[in-house]
């Protein structure tokens, strides 16, 4: 234990956390709390948003985000391809559509289906569009999700895509963290807030009902009820032609679930797989991906494998499994998608990915490559619908604008280039490289570096190190675009660390930083920081750390345990108070990731990575900027509020805070707010690392 930072050793030795005197900041709309927020916002804006560079940066970012040549991403509903588009004239956006022939054109003529700005103006609400799902097979009706503030809670309304208006007396649910699915033309599966006792301790629905058109919601038929301590429950309908099925899902926690097949007679048959396995269906096949090694009938199927069994045979008790993918030490499954007759599988090797097409042939499967891997780039593909073998394929890299292709697995033709994102900065000035740091326990940790060509290795380059390290999330190369003017073009080096807790090397990489092993993610990030200094890319006074959500917890621990490594820190929509995180918003849903602080033996290790409790007086903490949103109903803004307030109370006036009102967990409801946040962060970083705006 002697090799751990002093702050961790003291916490593990039993040092008691200070009393929580910042509880008054927890009420989201509390008048005292909001007055404090207003004062903090003014202080931060006065410090970093008043310089001459700020409006220019904000405009540069906004101009990039609002380019008409950005790729209009589409989803196919019937004969139309639907796109949600935001620009300067339509900040909250337009839901619009075009035929494929029209979409192929360099400048398609779009038909507006729903104007979110106009809707908000007419109803006196600043709606944020959160997606829609259409009703098969006609695709005339859809369910549209509208958030009143950008948070996860949405109002659900039935919409007529033919007449382009909401359905009078149609299905409608008030704002809640609902999960809704079409069961038929006149029925919905609904999991929502039905009133007292209908939510889990995480604040998600635990009751699933079937709601028939024309009847009151409170008369809907109850199908299932999860336990209060479970994460959530929901139901959905698989509308694959010829293989229609209904499912009920009980999410026990973030990584364990039980899935039931709902038969026409009302019988609920559990699909018998390990509770930590992810399952899906593809026509007459059941797909299974175990998170841990699975012992079955004398054979071991490794964690992270992809398995297939004949659906009906498996439910009848026969356990013949086909192995579609087997992981290795440096190779993992990044995901898969289905078309009518095939699977498209993404495979990562040292965070570089490639694609394969898997096709069932009788009782076995055939594999062939799809596309050509591009070095230090991300290649991804997904089926367009379940009625064809058409697919979209994208290629993107840090310096490579995204390309969108359309292909068909029915032929061997090369996919057709449909759209090319614009070049937002002079990429030829920069180069991308991949490096490996050695963590404290000897583990090799990969990271990407984007820097100017001919970078001088003199330890004096402003460097921004970004990470996440949790929830099995992988950080893959993606085009920097609007991020370039705020950092690269100001002379900075950009680095992404692929630390443990993520999914870059499969379930074992994620599992290595769970709960009592959380410190491994932080050791990895610190190792990357040290490697950057050892390679003379930068020095501690020129190195910044940035992360959001779970990544906010990551950089919060950099602040409290490794302050000597960083010149400043940007901590966005973070978890920081790990003693009370399960009491705040959706926090209880993450116990499987972090542990339960209400259990004494688990609090013993959780407190070692609770930044709020590891703050100490007379420590040379670097400047830190906390960013959050009042409307974030996933990670409560109280985490950032309390951390900033406690630091200032302890005399650390270099702790800055900014809270947007809207935007939810993204802290931005539109592109204007995104551009503002980007400029604010850039100015903070540049001022902190260079001493000037």
Give the separation between CA 27 and CA 34, rounded to whole angstroms. Answer: 9
Q: Judge if the upstream peptide bond of residue 2 is cis by omega within 30 degrees of 0.
A: no
623 shares a domain with 508:
yes
314 shares a domain with 194:
no
Q: At what angle do helices 550-561 and 638-649 cross, to 10 degrees?
A: 20
Strand partners, 545: 465, 569
432 shares a domain with 416:
no
Alpha-carbon dihedral angle through residues 331, 333, 334, 338, given to the nearest 10 degrees:
150
- Over pLDDT 90: what percentage of the chain? 93
577 shares a domain with 495:
yes
- The average pLDDT across 24-38 equals 95
Closest CA to 306 of 329, 325, 284: 325
Does 9 map to a domain? no
560 shares a domain with 474:
yes
**End residue of a domain, out of 396, 422, 448:** 422
The 10s digit of each residue's pLDDT in 264-291 is 999 999 999 999 999 999 999 999 999 9
**End residue of a domain, out of 143, 176, 209:** 176
Phi, psi angle pair for 600, to nearest 5°: -55, -40
| Share in percent of the chain as helix, strand, coil (round to 5) | 25, 35, 40
540 shares a domain with 683:
yes
Residue 99 confidence (pLDDT) above 60:
yes
Which structural domain range is residue 200 located in? 177-270
Specify the CATH number for the domain of residue 483.
3.40.50.1820
Does 605 map to a domain? yes
Does 17 map to a domain? no
**End residue of a domain, out of 234, 251, 270:** 270
585 shares a domain with 621:
yes
Does 238 map to a domain? yes
At residue 412, the pLDDT reads 86
Does 559 map to a domain? yes
Closest CA to 113 of 137, 149, 151, 140: 140
Sheet strands side by side (includes 232-238) = 232-238, 245-251, 257-262, 268-270
CA distances from 404 to 70, 72, 104, 336, 394 (A): 11, 10, 11, 18, 5
379 shares a domain with 260:
no
At residue 18, the pLDDT reads 61
Residue 204 confidence (pLDDT) above 60:
yes
pLDDT band at residue 3 under the 50/70/90 scheme: very low
Q: Total domain count for the chain?
A: 5
Catalytic residue among 7, 178, 474, 549: 549
Give the separation between CA 230 and CA 226, rounded to whole angstroms. Answer: 6
pTM for this prediction: 0.95
Give the separation between CA 559 and CA 555, rounded to whole angstroms. Answer: 6
Give the separation between CA 463 and CA 476, rounded to whole angstroms. Answer: 19
The 10s digit of each residue's pLDDT in 510-548 is 999 999 999 999 999 999 999 999 999 999 999 999 999
Local structure of residue 350 (DSSP, 8 states): T
Does 8 map to a domain? no
pLDDT band at residue 662 under the 50/70/90 scheme: confident
Give the separation between CA 630 and CA 245, rounded to whole angstroms. Answer: 40
Residue 554 CB partners (closer than 8 Å, separation 6+): 467, 468, 469, 470, 499, 521, 522, 525, 545, 547
Residue 237 CB partners (closer than 8 Å, separation 6+): 181, 182, 183, 184, 189, 244, 245, 246, 247
Strand partners, 129: 146
Q: Is position 613 annotated as part of the catalytic site?
A: no
Residue 139 confidence (pLDDT) above 50:
yes
The 10s digit of each residue's pLDDT in 540-572 is 999 999 999 999 999 999 999 999 999 999 999
At residue 363, the pLDDT reads 83
At residue 664, the pLDDT reads 87
Q: How far apart are the first and last CA of the chain?
A: 42
Does 192 map to a domain? yes
Mean of all residue pLDDT scores within the chain: 95
Catalytic residue among 665, 666, 674, 688: 665
Residue 327 confidence (pLDDT) above 60:
yes
Strand partners, 74: 83
533 shares a domain with 452:
yes
476 shares a domain with 350:
no
The 10s digit of each residue's pLDDT in 398-438 is 999 999 999 999 998 999 999 999 999 999 999 999 999 99
Element (H, E) at 432: strand 430-438
The 10s digit of each residue's pLDDT in 603-634 is 999 999 999 999 999 999 999 999 999 999 99
The pair of structure tokens assigned to 560 is: 């409290």
pLDDT band at residue 663 under the 50/70/90 scheme: confident
Does 381 map to a domain? yes
At residue 16, the pLDDT reads 52
- The average pLDDT across 94-119 equals 98
At residue 618, the pLDDT reads 94
Sheet strands side by side (includes 207-212) = 179-184, 187-191, 207-212, 221-225
pLDDT band at residue 693 under the 50/70/90 scheme: very low
Q: What sign does the CA torsion over 612, 231, 205, 246 have?
A: positive
Q: Is position 549 annotated as part of the catalytic site?
A: yes
At residue 472, the pLDDT reads 97
Sheet strands side by side (includes 403-408) = 377-383, 390-397, 403-408, 416-420
Element (H, E) at 534: helix 519-534
90 shares a domain with 46:
no
191 shares a domain with 161:
no
Q: What sign does the CA torsion over 254, 145, 37, 686 have?
A: positive
The 10s digit of each residue's pLDDT in 239-264 is 999 999 999 999 999 999 999 999 99
């Amino acid at each position: 234990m002697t090799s751990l930072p002093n702050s961790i050793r003291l916490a593990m030795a039993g040092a008691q956390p200070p009393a929580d005197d910042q509880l008054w900041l927890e009420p989201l709309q509390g008048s005292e709390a909001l007055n404090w927020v207003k004062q903090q916002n003014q202080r931060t804006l006065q410090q970093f948003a008043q310089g001459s560079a700020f409006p220019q940066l904000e405009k540069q970012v906004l101009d990039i985000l609002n380019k008409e040549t950005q790729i209009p991403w589409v989803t196919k509903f019937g004969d139309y391809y639907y796109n949600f588009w935001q620009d300067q004239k339509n900040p909250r956006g337009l839901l619009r559509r075009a035929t494929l022939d029209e979409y192929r054109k360099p400048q398609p003529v779009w038909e507006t289906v729903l104007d979110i700005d106009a809707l908000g103006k007419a109803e006196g609400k600043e709606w944020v569009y959160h997606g829609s799902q259409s009703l098969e097979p006609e695709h005339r009706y859809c369910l549209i999700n509208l958030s009143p503030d950008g948070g996860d809670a949405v109002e659900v309304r039935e919409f007529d895509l033919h007449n382009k208006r909401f359905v009078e007396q149609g299905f409608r649910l008030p704002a809640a963290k609902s999960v809704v699915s079409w069961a038929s033309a006149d029925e919905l599966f609904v999991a929502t807030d039905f009133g007292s006792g209908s939510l889990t301790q995480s604040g998600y629905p635990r009751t699933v009902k079937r709601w028939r058109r024309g009847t009151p919601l409170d008369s809907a038929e109850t199908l299932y009820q999860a336990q209060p301590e479970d994460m959530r429950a929901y139901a959905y309908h698989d509308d694959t032609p010829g293989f229609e099925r209904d499912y009920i899902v009980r999410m026990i926690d973030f990584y364990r679930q039980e899935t039931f097949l709902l038969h026409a007679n009302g019988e609920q048959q559990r699909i018998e797989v390990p509770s930590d396995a992810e399952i899906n269906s593809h026509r007459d096949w059941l797909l299974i991906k175990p998170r841990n090694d699975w012992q079955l009938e004398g054979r071991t199927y490794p964690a992270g494998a992809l398995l297939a069994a004949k659906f009906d045979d498996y439910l009848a008790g026969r356990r013949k499994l086909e192995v579609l993918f087997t992981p290795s030490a440096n190779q993992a499954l990044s995901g898969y998608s289905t078309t009518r007759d095939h699977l498209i599988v993404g495979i990562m090797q040292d965070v570089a990915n490639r694609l394969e097409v898997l096709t069932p042939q009788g009782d076995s499967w055939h594999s062939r490559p799809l596309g050509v891997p591009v070095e230090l780039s991300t290649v991804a593909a997904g089926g367009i619908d379940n009625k064809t073998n058409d697919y979209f394929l994208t290629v993107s890299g840090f310096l490579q604008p995204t390309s969108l292709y359309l292909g068909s697995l029915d032929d061997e033709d090369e996919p057709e280039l449909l759209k090319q994102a614009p070049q937002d900065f002079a990429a030829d000035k920069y180069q991308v490289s991949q490096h490996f740091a050695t963590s404290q326990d000897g583990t090799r940790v990969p990271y990407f570096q984007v820097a100017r060509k001919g970078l001088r290795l003199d330890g004096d380059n402003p460097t921004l190190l970004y990470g996440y390290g949790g929830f099995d999330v992988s950080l893959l190369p993606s085009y920097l675009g609007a991020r370039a003017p705020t950092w690269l073009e100001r002379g900075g080096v950009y680095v992404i660390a692929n630390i443990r807790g993520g999914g870059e090397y499969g379930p074992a990489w994620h599992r290595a930083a769970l709960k009592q092993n959380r410190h491994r993610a932080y050791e990895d990030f610190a190792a990357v920081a040290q490697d950057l200094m050892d390679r003379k890319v930068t020095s501690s006074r020129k190195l910044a750390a940035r992360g959001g959500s779970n990544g906010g917890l990551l950089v919060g621990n950099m602040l409290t345990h490794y302050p000597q490594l960083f010149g400043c820190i940007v901590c966005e929509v973070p978890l920081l108070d790990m003693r009370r995180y399960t009491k705040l918003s959706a926090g209880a849903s993450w116990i499987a990731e972090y542990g339960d602080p209400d259990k004494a033996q688990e609090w013993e290790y959780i407190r070692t990575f609770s930044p709020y409790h590891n703050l100490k007086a007379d420590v040379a903490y670097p400047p830190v900027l906390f960013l959050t949103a009042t409307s974030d109903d996933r990670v409560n803004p109280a985490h950032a509020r309390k951390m900033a307030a406690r630091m200032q109370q302890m005399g650390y006036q270099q702790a800055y805070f900014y809270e947007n009102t809207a935007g939810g967990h993204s802290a931005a409801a539109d592109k204007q707010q995104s551009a503002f946040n980007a400029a604010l962060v850039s100015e903070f970083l540049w001022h902190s690392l260079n001493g000037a705006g």
